[in-house]
Amino acid sequence: QVQLVESGGGLVQAGGSLRLSCAASGRTFSHVTMAWFRQASGEERKFVAAISWSDSTYYADSVKGRFTISRDDAKNTVYLQMNSLKPEDTAVYYCAAQWYGSISSDVRAYDYWGQGTQVTVSS
């Protein structure tokens, strides 16, 4: 049973930084593509960033240059470093995983999801 557990969310002022973590368990971390999505209140879930098992990365235009996704395979963990945060970054952030697939921004490409962590950016 695959489990993804996010942590690191919270309240931060505009311009500040947060680092989200997502720990995976229940399956080997090799050949897994990990991603972060976010969902603001009343909106659909949207792609933020993804990292493939070969360390290729892909970002939404809205976060490019501010957010960095990385992974530590020894710890079965993926990270999202968020800098220069803006109020419009406020959302619940979800970690997602898929094995043996291609890196993707499509929510339907991911088979496993975490429970989400709230990020609130005040102006």
The per-residue pLDDT of the chain, averaged, comes to 96
Which pLDDT belongs to residue 20?
A: 98
Q: What is the pLDDT of residue 24?
A: 95
- Give dist(CA 113, CA 4) in Å, integer: 6
Residue 69, both tokens? 């996704």
Q: What is the largest CA-CA distance in the chain?
A: 41
pLDDT band of 29, cuts 50, 70, 90: confident
**Amino acid identity for residue 29 in this structure:** F
Instruction: Band the pLDDT of 30: cuts 50, 70, 90.
Output: confident
